[in-house]
Amino acid sequence: STTTALLFTIACLLTLARLRQPLLFESAEHVGAVKAKPVAARLENGGWLRACLANRPYHFLITPPLWFILTLATALITTFAPAGDYHAPNGSAILHANGKTIIHNTGLRSRSHGRDDAARYLLPELRRHLTRPDAIVLTRKSLRDISALKTLLDAYPATPVYSTVIIPDLPYPVRYCPATNPAGITFSKTNDGCTARFGDVILAAP
């Protein structure tokens, strides 16, 4: 994430600065000088805190190398941790179950509004975890939920698209409520329409 990258950069710079010149509060002469100052002056410029930290075994907690190690560990965990389900603010989602990944609805794509939900939310999340979708499932027919399908199919052109509603006039092949599919989605036709379940998540209820 941006925050992790920023912290990582700061930690690197602080570590390099420390290698060039040790922190002042680790100097015995500096600590002695701080102790000689009046209490009010030490409190005013933070010298009292530096002196206390320098005389305690836990002063290493504020050293840049420790920040560097912690930030590096955070960055590695954030990048390589197994991807969990992702729910975008627009209502679309990336779901994972049984080793498969699907996209539930795609969001809005509108040139006049300068908006592309798939490019803003879904593609960065997929690329961050080096994941390709096994299927795209559409459970609504509103343009706010399906018009960003073009963005996803441009990025992953071989991805099958399924739906639980009949969507006419789409320029892409969409299979309505298929009996079987390789993505592991369970579709069921009922008198009220089509239902869908992926793992423990109900995509469309009757």
Tens digits of residue pLDDT in 147-178: 999 999 999 999 999 999 999 888 999 999 99
Helix (H, G, I), strand (E, B) or coil at 77: helix
Please give the structure tokens belonging to residue 166.
């009949």
Residue 184: CB atoms within 10 Å:
16
Other C-beta atoms lying within 10 Å of the C-beta of residue 48: 17
Contact 172, 153 (CB under 8 A): yes
Angle, vertex CA 184, rays to CA 180 and CA 189, nearest 5: 45
> Which residues pair with residue 101 across a beta bridge?
96
Structural domains present in the chain? 2-80 (no CATH), 86-204 (3.60.15.10)
pLDDT tier for residue 139 given thresholds of 50, 70 and 90 = very high
Mean pLDDT over 54-78 rounds to 61
Examine the pLDDT at 24 and tell me if it is beyond 50. Answer: no
Residue keyed to tokens 């050293």: 63
Tens-digit pLDDT profile for residues 81-124? 666 899 999 999 999 999 999 999 999 999 988 999 999 999 99
Higher pLDDT, 39 or 71: 71
Contact call for residues 97 and 200 (beta carbons, < 8 A): yes
